[in-house]
Amino acid sequence: MAENLQQTCETNRIAIDIGSTVVKIAEIGSNDELIKQEFHPRDFDTGIAKQVETLLETTDCFENEEKLLICSSANGGLRVGIVCLTNYFSGAAFRDQVFLAGANPVFVYDFECDDSSLKYVDILLVGGGIDCQDSAPMEERIRQFNPQHYRFGSLVYAGNKYLANLFIELFPQSVVIDNPLGNTLRSGNNSVFSTLRRSYLDDLVYKEGVSELGTKLSQAILPTPEIVNRGFQRAVFNHSSILVAGACILIDIGGATTDIHYTVEIIRDDSDDQPSAGASIARYVFTDLGIYASLESTILQIRSHPRLYELLDTVLQEDVREVYRALREGEYDPSPQLLSYACLFLCLDRFSQGQGSGLPVADLSKVAQYIFTGGSSQNLDEEVAARIIALFVAETSSKPGIFIDRNYQVWVDGITWSHTPD
């Protein structure tokens, strides 16, 4: 591709996605159309900075930042823990901004919760409530807060601004940002979104050496989950070549995580967890479902699942009983294709029951369309995917449409759209 890019950078753009195992590079036309793309295995010996620069060194795009678009999912996203000064309403608003920033909320607790997570998070976010001077109950909660109950890299306060000085006094190593709920209990600014966006880059710089790309490239990088969410919004809002009619779920199956992006009308009214008020699209990430970095977790879950035989009978053409026995006993290594179907199955199973911190309960019979994207989705077959979906809906339900994004159009739509995520 590099030989031809010299002639096209003057009018077209180049998009790059740095994944955990593959670097994707694509030429994007003036009307946001995908012209061509190539996939290059990650060169871990050379390093990501040198590899990307080599891909671009024969073009003029490297010097023209307006023609270069770059994102990365190399780390699987920042891990964020949320502790609320108030109840879970504030937590839901914070969680939405975390998702939109391409990060992964690991837990959402209030100050009365004694089930403190031992899971490590990159950022522990403390906040909630509105900005008001009469805040004695919140002040008492802050004084009782013990960060030692959690394992985290950085502590961030985003609550009532009148208590910010107290928080800094008690926890001098913390960082204070604006309260996104302000005076109305509605998201009035994107402080959490912006902070996590910057932190995502810091995380990549530390773990992946992205800073070595140079100032222009490293400052322009975005998290791939945010890009996919933009692409989904663009399709739902009818600004894409991907046609969406009715309630829709997009599932991005990757090496480290499996993300779902969905229109909120599929959420059951009796679900304890609900998307934040006014939202039309929401996102959730299963950090333990993937076919490479989360391989062991995925195998462990599917091996012990009570419906394992149903899944295998749905996917495999033969030797179902033998594979079932061997997988149960830990004597079988699933193929990448079977693991992709396992991620889809486990994702839908948990979504239909709300099994996850902050995960609402979905009525999958309301879904009119499924979109599958990401590298692992290339392993899927439309008919097999449809049979797996049918395991979670009544036989009388209408069959949803299925679109497998084999050209990564969702990614192209997202990385070229200047619209700010809602």
- Tell me: pLDDT of 89 over 70: no
Which pLDDT does position 2 carry in this prediction?
A: 46
- Tell me: pLDDT of 215 over 80: no
In degrees rounded to 5, what are phi and psi of residue 263?
-80, 140
Task: Give per-residue pLDDT as tens, 377-388.
Answer: 889 999 999 999
Structural contact between residues 351 and 362, judged by C-beta atoms closer than 8 angstroms: yes
- Tell me: pLDDT of 93 over 70: yes
Q: Can you list the domains of the chain with their CATH numbers?
A: 2-74 (3.30.420.40), 79-201 (3.40.50), 243-404 (3.30.420)
Tokens of 105: 């909320």
The C-alpha atoms of residue 413 and residue 409 are separated, in whole angstroms, by: 6
3-state DSSP call for residue 415? helix
pLDDT band at 288 (very low <50, low <70, confident <90, very high): confident
Tokens of 312: 């295998």
Structural contact between residues 58 and 5, judged by C-beta atoms closer than 8 angstroms: yes
Name residue 97's amino acid: Q
Q: At what angle do helices 308-315 and 336-353 cross, to 10 degrees?
A: 130
Across the range 240-268, mean pLDDT stands at: 92
Tokens of 405: 């994004």
Structural contact between residues 77 and 102, judged by C-beta atoms closer than 8 angstroms: yes
pLDDT band at 260 (very low <50, low <70, confident <90, very high): very high
The C-alpha atoms of residue 339 and residue 251 are separated, in whole angstroms, by: 14
Report the 10 Å Cβ neighbour count for 398: 9
List the one residue out of 204, 205, 262, 252 whose CA is nearest residue 225.
Answer: 252
Query: 248 forms bridges with which residues in the sheet?
Result: 369
pLDDT band at 14 (very low <50, low <70, confident <90, very high): confident
Separation of first and last alpha carbons in the chain: 35
Helix (H) or strand (E) holding 286, with range, is strand 281-286
